[in-house]
Structure 1
Amino acid sequence: MANRIRGEVEAVLDGQRHVLCLTLGALAELEAAFGAEDLSALAARFGAGRLAARDAIRIIGAGLRGAGADIDDDAVAAMRAEGGAAGFARIVAHLLTATFGEAA
């Protein structure tokens, strides 16, 4: 079960319940992937409200790995979420809100 106080969220992917968490290591991974120089730049990028499918893959993958899953982004790209693209966007929004707060 996800612990929201620790920044964890739950998501159902491919019919299985997963916990996601953007740990410091996961955030460092996203900084490198998005070319952000620090956490403020990363939060500002996410706060802009624009999300590409590749962004969702990277964020969800980092969240899964941050929670301990051994999964790569290619496997995340092949996953399905209830609600399709909108379902993935909701997962990302919940994860970013749990990590950065409402402003993200």
Structure 2
Amino acid sequence: MENRWRGEVMLVVNDQHHRMRLTLGALAELEEDLSEPSLMALVQRFETGGFSTRDVLALLCAGLRGGGIDMSPDSLAQAEIDGGPMRAAQAAAELLARAFMVQS
């Protein structure tokens, strides 16, 4: 089970459940990998629906790394994700949202 307060999101890849989360290091890598000036620009891409498949793969790979699984975007692109592309995009958006969630 995921811990939302830690920013965790579950994803089933090749019939295995994986707990993902975005660490500070992963967020810094995302800025560089996706050529964004800031994470807010990436968040805005997701909020406006302007994200690409590359964005989704990069976010999911970063989240998997944060959860202890090292998987390349090429490997993930060939993997079977339960729920297909829609679930992948939803999980990527959840990762971003939970990374910036403020606990009250």
TM-score (norm 2): 0.83
Alpha-carbon distance change, 95 to 15 in structure 1, aligned in 2, over 3 angstroms? same
Unaligned ranges ≥5, structure 1: none
Q: Deviations over 1:63-100 (max 9, x none)?
A: 10112212221111111122221121222122222123
Tell me, in whole angstroms, the C-alpha distance in 2 between the residues paired with 1:76 and 1:50: 21
Secondary structure at the aligned position of 2:60 is classed as helix
Equivalenced residue count is: 101
TM-score (norm 1): 0.83
Contact 1:43/1:100 (8 A) holds in 2: no
User: Displacement, 1:42?
Assistant: 2.9
Q: Which residue number corresponds to residue 40 of structure 1?
A: 40
Runs (4 or more) in structure 1 with deviation over 4 Å come to: none
Tell me, in whole angstroms, the C-alpha distance in 1 between the residues paired with 2:42 and 2:55: 12
Q: Which residue number corresponds to residue 87 of structure 1?
A: 87
